[in-house]
Amino acid sequence: MIGLAHFLAVAAIVFALGLYGVLTKRTIVGMLMGIELMLNAVNLNLVAFSRFITPEILTGQVFAIFTITVAAAEVAVGLALFFRVYRDRNTVHVARLNTMRW
């Protein structure tokens, strides 16, 4: 029988993978993908909690829809900025984003 703990475990693994991706990837697209993984882990958590903890109220599932919408907006803006950075300096490597440092 698959219970709440299984969903939470999968979500935790996906979240950890996403965070690892954001912290270690050296290209902008890789980092954006890591962020997407983190947000999907959140969705998994929300839907699982909604199903197992409050099955009669759908707050968690509604929240997940909002999360998906916001994630789409973030990626849209992210890709626009990504194009801008690429046009400015012909690279998407984060190590080259070093015009400013203290």
Partner 1 sequence: MNLALLSSEIAIVVLAVLLICFDLFMPHRETRRSLGIVAACGVLAVLVHSFTQYGTVGTVYGDYFVVDHLALFFKQVFLTATLLTILFSFGYVEKFTQNKGEFYALLLFALLGMMIMASAHDLLTVFIGLEIMAVVFYVLVGFDLENIKSSEAGIKYLILGSASSAVLLYGISWIYGFTGSLLFKEVAANMAATPAILMGLGLIVAGFCFKLSIVPFHMWAPDVYEGAPTPITALLAMGSKAAAFAVLLRVFLVAFAGLKLYWAPVLSVLAALSMIVGIVVAIWQSGIKRMLAYSSVAQAGYILSGLLAANAAGVKGMLFYIVLYMVATVGAFAVVVAVEEHSGSDAIAAFSGLAQKSPLLALVMTISLISMAGIPPLAGFAGKLYLFIAIAAQGYLWLVVIGFVMSMISVYYYILVVKAMYTHPVQDDRVLTVNGPLKLVAMVSLLATLFIGIYPEPLAELANAAARALW
Does the footprint of partner 1 cover residue 90 (CB under 8 A)?
no
DSSP-H helix ranges across the chain: 4-24, 28-52, 59-89
DSSP state of 99: S
Does the footprint of partner 1 cover residue 1 (CB under 8 A)?
no
Main-chain dihedrals φ then ψ at residue 30, nearest 5 degrees: -60, -40
The residues that touch partner 1, with contacts defined as CB under 8 A, are 8, 15, 18-19, 22, 28, 31-32, 34-35, 38-39, 41-42, 45-46, 48-49, 53-54, 59-60, 62-63, 66-67, 70, 73-74, 77-78, 80-82, 84-85, 88-89, 97, 99-102
